[in-house]
Amino acid sequence: MVLSKDSVRRSAVPPVPLASAPQRASYCLDRVSGPEQRRLCEMGLVEGARIHVVNRASRDMLVIRVGDCRLALARGMADCVWVR
C-alpha cells in the first residue's frame, strides 16, 4: 500500500472541533457531524474546505470565512465541525 503525502500529513494531525480552534488561523475541514450536518454542508462546510477563523464575536458565537463567504456559527454548530 502506497500512502500519498496528503494522507500521511492528514493522519499526523488529529482533528479538533472548530469551536476550540484558535482565532485568526486557517484550517482544512475534516468532517461535519451531528444533527446540523445537512445544514452546515449546505452552507459550504464540506470535507476539504478551507476555513479561516475570523473572530469570536462572543463566548457563544464564532465568525468564520469559507471561500468568499463569512458565516456566524453558534458554539453548538461549531462543535459539530472538525478541522485540521
Condensed to tens digits (0 to 9), the pLDDT of residues 5-62 reads: 555 455 678 999 999 998 889 999 999 999 989 999 999 999 999 999 999 878 889 9
This prediction has a pTM of: 0.80
Cα–Cα distance, 73 to 5 (Å, whole number): 32
The more confidently predicted of residues 8 and 64 is 64
- Per the CB < 8 A criterion, the answer to whether 30 and 81 are in contact is no
- Per the CB < 8 A criterion, the answer to whether 56 and 63 are in contact is yes
Encoded amino acid at 78, one letter: A
Instruction: Please report where in the chains the cell 465568525 appears, as a residue.
Output: 63
CB contact set of 2 (below 8 Å; sequence gap of 6+): none
pLDDT value of residue 6:
54
pLDDT value of residue 47:
95
Joined grid coordinates for residue 27: 484550517
Q: 15-83 falls under which CATH superfamily?
A: Ferrous iron transport protein A (FeoA) (2.30.30.90)
